[in-house]
Amino acid sequence: MAPKPPQPMDVLIVGAGFGGIGQAYSLRNLGLSMKLIDSLPDVGGTWLTNIYPGALSDTESFVYRFSWDAEDLRTYPWSRRYLRQPEILAYLKHFVERHDLRKYMQFDTELLSAQWVEESDVWEVRVSTGETYWARYFIPAMGVLSKANFPAIPGFESFKGRITHTSHWPADLDVTNKRIGVLGCGASGVQVITNIASHVSSLTAFIRHPQYTLPSNDRPITPVYRTWVNEHYDQIWAQLKASFAGFGYVESNRPFFSVDPGRREQLLEDLWNNGNGLRFMVEHFCDIITDADANNSVCDFIRRKIHQIVKDSEKARKLIPNERFARRPISNDGYYETFNRENVSIVDLKETPVEEITPDSIRTADGTCHILDIIVLATGFDAVEGNLLRVNIAGRDGRSLKDTWAEGPKSYLGSFAAGFPNMFMVNGPKGVFGNVIPAIEASIEFITNAVQRAESAKEKHGSRGVVEATFQAESGWGERCEQAAKGSLFSEVKDSWLSGGNVPEKPVGVRTYLGGLGSYRAMGNSATKDTWEGFVPL
Ligand code: NAP
């Protein structure tokens, strides 16, 4: 082991996406030395690499941003209900420049390993440039949806055209007039299919299992609306931060079967015509993800819509999900209509699974070679802990995170891990489910509270300044997450990225706190600001 340097830095943050940028912002005035590294060449994280055609956030623009800078909230421009990828990237770069955060950042620097050095209370961190850093606080902010999931299909290397994963779309990839195959129909697949269909020669959607997707109802915003938002930001954030999902609208407390069938239909129509995937779940009814009968009725409503829109009944059949409406909901901008185009076809992978990739096609089990120029893998992510487990992280007694999480990831409040002192995960495993930006902000606030408390204890009574969640608190938090999941139909879906079942060999289990942003914030702030419950005394 390399010797401890005379002066370790205070804070090392890994990741320059929303999480890392927000954490650097939050810690910047505490008088601590700080560095932020990222393997990518610039700011942006997931929004730097997910540049596939059609990439946008389906969280509404007014709340897909940090809540902290009141003046910036009022003055920064945005023009539509949803932000496209280039706008989100521009916003992040703007935020970094505005708050002079770039001076902390070092790019093209990948984290390779991090090890807690017991005798000196520092993390020894090795990176791809050959450097070794020592830091008192090690803060991975490596993204929940960041490590790509590549399917194991024989013949990948033989393909003579181009293959890309949506999350690493090459800037020079032009799909115009090409024969495209898209594997996967989650949020990424839905967006890319809808966006490129009109200018490709042919598009074949390889669908293993269709999901429900709802109209996003994207539209330009009016100056009147923007003025209203600007004047009400304080109330907007107060409401959002106390809400369940944090998407900036009031969630319903109306049970589905408390209104008559005619009125239910009207309310669902309203959601179809004005809402989006997320609003559909919680805006007009409170029990769509908790009451199985309500959920079934909503599924029937969406299935009827698909039948009405998709003219070819065979295509409609292949697009209709046969499961609960209980995944992270998807919004679309004309997805079902896209399948009315003659150049768009569907291969149902349940009927004819993919056998191999050949030099010019995807060959399915019926022997058909689907001839393609470009294969787009919209196959999702090794989500949540994927990036953390890609590197070697070792805590107390040299125990690795991989071994510690062999049966699934653990945390206290989505941010702290027992046995990994002074390692703070921005929106780590078992963080809160909902709008990811307020989820990230909440985790950042807990972390900053903890750092402040440690620094103050160090100064006031010579504490070593080591923040450590107890094993008891970690297992208590795990149980709380289990309990919250039991009340939700989400827990019935075992093959989504939320449960880990989308990646072969990954342990399936609860990976988020489904109890709501409001209660998450309350518990985390109470523990890190007031009670210090769940932490080893400082
Ligand atoms: P995803 O929801 O996990 O979808 C992956 C798709 O790939 C599924 O259709 C899956 O089919 C398919 N797939 C995976 N492996 C396959 C294989 N071996 N053969 C055939 N098909 C395979 O991933 P995603 O679409 O990237 O979305 C993930 C999350 O990212 C979203 O839930 C959302 O949180 C975020 N996201 C958000 C937006 C937005 O608008 N805000 C946009 C993009 C992504 P099976 O279901 O059969 O496994």
* Domains of the chain by residue range: 7-147+382-531
Tell the residue nearest (CA) to atom 34 of ligand 1. 328
Find out whether the beta carbon of 178 lies less than 6 Å from any atom of ligand 1.
Answer: no
Q: What is the dihedral of CA 392, 393, 398, 402, to 10 degrees?
A: -70
402 φψ region: left (φ > 0), alpha (ψ -120 to 50), beta (else): alpha
Domain 7-147+382-531 is found in CATH 3.50.50.60: yes
184: CA distance to ligand 1 center in Å?
A: 6
Structure token pair of residue 333: 């901008």
Tell me what percent of the residues of the chain surpass a pLDDT of 90. Answer: 98
- Tell me the per-residue pLDDT of 465-476, one tens digit each, with 9 for 90 and over: 999 999 999 999
* pLDDT, mean over the chain: 97
Indicate the pTM of the whole model.
0.97
Tell the residue nearest (CA) to atom 6 of ligand 1. 184
Residue reference for tokens 């969280």:
59
Q: What is the dihedral of CA 292, 305, 185, 373, to 10 degrees?
A: 170
Find out whether the beta carbon of 145 lies less than 6 Å from any atom of ligand 1.
Answer: yes
Out of 192, 502, 506, mutate this one to test ligand 1's pocket (max ligand atoms within 8 Å of CB): namely 502
Find out whether the beta carbon of 380 lies less than 6 Å from any atom of ligand 1.
Answer: yes
Asked if the model's pLDDT at residue 127 lies above 60, the reply is yes
The answer to whether residues 190 and 330 touch, using CB atoms and an 8 Å cutoff, is yes
pLDDT of residue 7: 84
206: CA distance to ligand 1 center in Å?
A: 12
Beta bridge partners of 180: 203, 374
Asked if the model's pLDDT at residue 213 lies above 70, the reply is yes
283: CA distance to ligand 1 center in Å?
A: 24
- Tell me the per-residue pLDDT of 235-285, one tens digit each, with 9 for 90 and over: 999 999 999 999 999 999 999 999 999 999 999 999 999 999 999 999 999
pLDDT of residue 3: 54
Asked if the model's pLDDT at residue 485 lies above 90, the reply is yes
pLDDT of residue 487: 85
Single out the residue of 197, 189, 138, 152 nearest to residue 167, CA to CA: 189
Find out whether the beta carbon of 500 lies less than 6 Å from any atom of ligand 1.
Answer: no
- Tell me the per-residue pLDDT of 67-97, one tens digit each, with 9 for 90 and over: 999 999 999 999 999 999 999 999 999 999 9
The band of 300, judged by pLDDT with boundaries at 50, 70 and 90, is very high
Average pLDDT (94-106) is: 98
Give the ligand 1 atom nearest the CA of 166: 26
195: CA distance to ligand 1 center in Å?
A: 16
Contacts of 482 (CB under 8 A, 6+ apart): 510
Asked if the model's pLDDT at residue 4 lies above 80, the reply is no
- Tell me the per-residue pLDDT of 391-416, one tens digit each, with 9 for 90 and over: 999 999 999 999 999 999 999 999 99
Instruction: Using DSSP, state whether 460 is helix, strand or coil.
Output: helix
